[in-house]
A and B are shown apart, each in its own frame.
Chain A
Amino acid sequence: MCDVSGRLVAWMDGELPENEAAVIEQHVRACSECRDRVVRYEEVSHQFASYYKAAAAMRTRKLPRWVPVVGAAAAAAVLLLALLPRSLKPVPAVRQVAVAPPPVAVRTAATPLKPAANHQVAAHRRAPRANWAMAQPAIQIAIPAEAMFPPGAVPEGVHYIANLSLAADGSVQGLRLQP
Chain B
Amino acid sequence: MSGDSFPLNLPLPRFATDGREATTLFRELHNPLLRYLAGLGLPAEEAQDVVQDAFLSLHKHLTGGGSQQNIRSWLFRVAHNRARNFQQSYARRFGEPLDPVFDAASPDVTPEQAMLAKEKFHRLDQAIRSLAVQERECLMLRAEGLRYREIGEVLGIPKSTVSDTLERAIRKLAERCNV
Contacts and interface: CB of A to CB of B under 8 A. Distances in A.
Contacts, number: 131
Interface stretch (B65-73, B84-92, B105-113, B162-170): B162-170
Contact of B38 (A47, A55, A128, A158): A55
A152 B17 CA distance: 7
Nearest to B23: A155
Nearest to B21: A155
Contact of B1 (A8, A14, A51, A157): A14
Interface in A56-86: 56-60, 62-63
A44 interface: yes
Interface string A39-62: 011011101110111111111101
Contacts of B54: none
B59 A152 contact: yes
Contact of B101 (A10, A48, A54, A63): A54
Given A7-B167, A10-B148, A13-B148, A60 B142 contact: no
B59 A157 contact: no
A169 interface: no
B80 to A, nearest CB: 15
Chain A contact residues: helix, strand, loop or mixed:
helix
Contacts of A10: 148, 163, 166-167
B101 A62 contact: no
Instruction: For chain A, give the interface size range.
Output: 35 or more
Contacts of B142: 13, 45
Contact of B179 (A44, A57, A58, A60): A44
A108 B9 CA distance: 49
A15 B147 contact: yes
B173 interface: yes
B163 A59 contact: no
Contacts of A97: none
Contact of A51 (B23, B128, B174): B128
B170 A9 contact: yes
12 contacts: A6-B164, A15-B148, A15-B163, A41-B170, A44-B170, A45-B143, A56-B38, A59-B43, A150-B63, A155-B25, A156-B20, A177-B49
Given A43-B174, A59-B44, 4 more contacts: A45-B142, A48-B143, A60-B35, A155-B23
